[in-house]
Amino acid sequence: MQPILDSNHPTIAALITHQGNMSDNKFAERFLPISSTVWFRLKKGQYPLKDYEKLSDKLDAALRSIEDHATITESQRDTAIVPLSNVKAAVVAVRRAFDQPRDRLCVILTPTGGGKTTMARAILAQFTGRTVIVEATEPWRTSYIAAIHAIGDSLGLTGLASSSRVAERALLTELKQRPRIIVIDEGNYFGKQSLNLVKAILNQTQSTVVILALPELWNAMKQRTWTEAAQLRTRTISHVAMASVTIRDVETLMSARLPHFTSQLNGSHRKCIQDITDAANSFGLYDTVVQIADAIHDEAGEQPITPDIVEQGIKNLKTLRP
């Protein structure tokens, strides 16, 4: 008998673990050789298999790729959360909102590379046990029930009804009994329906909502949903817009990634820090600082770091950018 590919299959189960709270669309787009629809049906055991071996081999290869990437990333990454200004601002914003009687919405806008993932991790670490992270997706623009189910999944609510009214009641009941800090990434996918759900959560529970979004897309969303967005403006206790990387942030990051950076450069480190800061603010913010640090490490090898190596590391990264 041909084996079944569903959530009980070891490869499917491992992929589901790696997917975590990521949407089917984004997970399939980033990591899988199949569409999100096929992936959804496979998990449910509802996909008719024409060639088990071929599909199984593809999924095994995808899993190995994910695990290899995770191993490399983990070995290179400093798992401690570096106390950068954007991280501090995000945690302070949530702390201000926490246990407020009414205004408990935080909106944090940051361009690509501005450290949204790090800020979400910092909030999760600071408020352990009360924080959940959920990623908004395209259906949130028009579907109330899609937003309810996504937030419900992050809370561990399984089997929510397909009826918006019934599912909403279950979600709000859970949040009334146990208020949470709900961190919503990709907030630019909000629409009128999902904004109304955030309003209901703030009005009917003591939960805090944190929205992370790209500034230009967030502003476009607000224009489409002017009334609903305006109603939430009065419920916002903190509106944080990250626009640039500071020299102090760059010093902190470089010291974390390259512990001998300052000592090896001696008196030249200030100019090098300024050059890295200028590069980061030109095309990529915090992500760029990390990538430049890695490029400098690769360029230096076993040699001490010099200004020429720093300059070459910056050039190496710029050549990879469009």
Q: What is the mean pLDDT of residues 8-34?
A: 83
Q: Which one-letter amino acid corresponds to residue 67?
A: E
Position 305 scores a pLDDT of: 93
Largest pairwise CA distance in the chain = 71
pLDDT, tens digit, 9 for 90 and up, residues 48-87: 777 777 888 888 888 876 775 554 344 333 445 667 888 8
Gap between the Cα atoms of 91 and 318, Å rounded? 32
pLDDT at 231 over 70: yes
Name the residue with higher pLDDT: 79 or 202: 202
pLDDT at 239 over 80: yes
CATH architecture label of 85-241: 3-Layer(aba) Sandwich (3.40)
Name the residue with higher pLDDT: 84 or 196: 196
Q: Are 194 and 182 in contact (CB under 8 A)?
A: no
All residues at 6 or more sequence positions from 88 whose CB lies less than 8 Å from its CB, including other chains: none
Nearest to 272 by CA among 284, 285, 261, 282: 261
pLDDT, tens digit, 9 for 90 and up, residues 300-313: 888 999 999 999 99
What integer best gives the mean pLDDT of the chain? 85
pLDDT, tens digit, 9 for 90 and up, residues 166-188: 999 999 999 998 899 999 999 98
Which range among 18-27, 29-38, 233-242, 271-280 has the greatest average pLDDT? 271-280
pLDDT bucket at 4, cuts 50 / 70 / 90: low
DSSP code at position 21:
T
Nearest to 127 by CA among 96, 148, 157, 151: 96
DSSP code at position 239:
E
The structure's pTM equals 0.69
Gap between the Cα atoms of 176 and 204, Å rounded? 7
Q: Are 278 and 309 in contact (CB under 8 A)?
A: no
Which range among 31-40, 56-65, 93-102, 103-112 has the greatest average pLDDT? 103-112
Domain residue ranges of the chain, discontinuous segments joined by +: 10-65, 85-241, 247-320
Calculate the CA 18 to chain-centre distance: 14
Burial of 123 (0-12, 13-18, 19+ CB in 10 A): buried
pLDDT at 101 over 80: no
DSSP code at position 209:
E
Position 270 scores a pLDDT of: 92
All residues at 6 or more sequence positions from 74 whose CB lies less than 8 Å from its CB, including other chains: none
